[in-house]
Structure 1
Amino acid sequence: MNNPFEPINARLNNLEALTLEVLQLLRSPNQSASDQIGGIELAAQITRLSKARIYTLVSERAIPHKKRGNRLYFNRTELIAWVEQGNRQERGGLES
């Protein structure tokens, strides 16, 4: 007779192994996520803008990027700083 909890136990073991692997990657000093460099997909993920809009901003030189040949590169830290610069100031002196 098979143990009905065996598949659950196997999945829990798999989840535990994956969690330990992720923790190890997060703790590794090799390359932090803040220094990650990527392509248009990274820019779209961070800014939540469409690829077409990002290409427009690149052509206007309005978004931080690097270009090597025909490839675009974006730095996660620079993109986050760029997004944060877009924060609007609260209006002063207005009360409800």
Structure 2
Amino acid sequence: MKPFTFDQIPVMMNKIHDKLEHLEKLITRISATGEDKDELLNIEEASKLLNLSVPTIYSKVSRKEIPVNKQGKRLYFYRHELMKWIKSGRVKTHLEIRNDIEKRSRI
């Protein structure tokens, strides 16, 4: 960075101010998404999120197929755990399988 003159101080201060505002917005946005990680859902909310009926969710809970937290007679679900559960069921494409095989054969 080149040194600046006394006359350039106001311009530089404005640039610094703009960058700080931008950083504040980014930090606020990141903090807000971090709060969603601990978002607790009841069974009806989980049903809507997963697009499954409530009886189907009860069935999956009883077979221990879905991550759940139980407090008394109530069931609670963490949004991030449900999203992770959904992602764990991802089926690889033929290309991905072929690439995995090629990588293993090189080892």
Assess same fold via TM > 0.5.
Answer: yes
Aligned to 2:42: 39
TM-score by length of 1: 0.61
- Runs (4+) off by over 2 Å: none
Question: TM-score w.r.t. structure 2 length?
Answer: 0.55
Aligned pair count reads 68
* Unaligned segments of structure 2, at least 5 residues: 1-27, 99-107
Aligned partner letter, 2:86:
V
**Is the 1:46–1:80 Cα contact (8 Å) retained in structure 2?**
no
Structure-to-structure mapping, 1:16-95, within 5 angstroms: 32-92=35-95
Larger helix proportion of the pair: 2
**What is the Cα-based RMSD across aligned positions, in Å?**
2.3
Secondary structure in 2 matching 1:72 = strand
Q: Is the 8 A contact 1:44 1:54 kept in 2?
A: yes
Letter in 1 for 2:49: I
CA–CA distance in 2 between the matches of 1:87 and 1:78? 15
Q: Once the 2 structures are TM-superposed, how far is the Cα of residue 42 of structure 1 from its aligned partner?
A: 2.2
The offset of 1:43, in angstroms, is: 1.2
